[in-house]
Amino acid sequence: MAAGNAKTLTKLVVATLGMFGFGFALVPFYYKICEVTGVNAGDEQALVKNTQVDATRWVTIQFDANVNEALPWRFKPEVRTLTVHPGQLVQVEYEVSNTSDKPIVGQAVPSYGPARAASYFKKIECFCFTPQTLAAGETRRMPVLFVLDPAIERELGTVTLSYTFFDTGPQAEAGRAKQG
């Protein structure tokens, strides 16, 4: 009988330890269940939804980059097109490099196609706001942060944002003087 008791004891102790482990196993199990069933999607619910994003439609934006012939720079967008919701905060980057052997100051001037899209482009941050000074041979990546106003007309399915860099430094002054 004593041997039988020891055997039963072993089984029950193993069961007890197993259930102690099971208590801890419930932790990952709980998170898995919540994930699979979406029960604890509380995190997403808690985030304030940006009600200004018009998720019902898409607008394609084309990014275009040009350099005035008098400026020895190279200038190109990181992506050529992007499809976004009106109201959505968008960030894109451009790359610009000075190919000459002296520092030059330039400034970008934006234009829009069609032109009436201009009033719907709300730029929050842009390299075009200030003149940019590039050292000889320097390459720089520059961001544009903008929101497309949700009031944008539905017919405007594609808009183009185009930048052109102009030389605004003393060389330009000199050039203008020579031309003049």
Partner 1 sequence: MSDVAHAHGHDEHGHHAHPTGLMRWLTTTNHKDIGTLYLIFALVMLFAAGSMALLIRAELFKPGLQLLHPDFFNQLTTMHGLIMIFGVIMPAFSGFANWQVPLMLGAPDMAFPRMNNWAFWLLPVAGILLMGSFLLPGGAVAGGWTMYPPLYIQGGISYDLTILAVHIMGLSSIMGSINIITTILNMRAPGMTLMKMPLFCWTWLITAYLLIATMPVLAGAVTMLLTDRNFGTHFFNAAGGGDPVMFQHIFWFFAHPEVYILILPAFGIVSQVIPTFARKPLFGYASMVYATASIAILSFIVWAHHMFTVGMPAAAQLFFMFSTMLIAVPTGVKVFNWVATMWRGSMTFETPMLFAIAFVCLFTIGGFSGLVLAIAPVDIQLHDTYYVVAHFHYVLVSGALFSIFAGIYYWLPKWTGHMYDETLGKWHFWLSVIGMNIVFFPMHFLGLAGMPRRIPDYALQFTEFNQIATVGAFIFGFSQLIFLAVVLKTVKGGAKATSKVWEGAEGLEWTVPSPAPYHTFETAPVVK
**What residues make contact with partner 1 under the rule CB under 8 A?**
1, 4-5, 8-9, 12-13, 15-24, 26-27, 30-31, 37-40, 42
Q: Are 106 and 165 in contact (CB under 8 A)?
A: yes
3-state helix, strand, coil in the chain (%, to 5): 35, 35, 30
Q: How many angstroms separate the CA atoms of 180 and 177, rounded?
A: 5
Q: Rounded to the nearest whole angstrom, what is the least distance from the CB of residue 44 to partner 1 in the complex?
A: 14
Q: How many angstroms separate the CA atoms of 154 and 150, rounded?
A: 10
Which residue number, 35 or 173, has a Cβ lying nearer to partner 1? 35
Q: Rounded to the nearest whole angstrom, what is the least distance from the CB of residue 12 to partner 1 in the complex?
A: 5
- CA-nearest of 90, 106, 86, 89 to 98 is 106
Q: Which helix (H) or strand (E) segment is 83 a member of?
A: strand 81-84
Q: How many angstroms separate the CA atoms of 98 and 135, rounded?
A: 7
Which residue number, 33 or 151, has a Cβ lying nearer to partner 1? 33
Which residue number, 17 or 124, has a Cβ lying nearer to partner 1? 17
Which residue number, 45 or 179, has a Cβ lying nearer to partner 1? 45
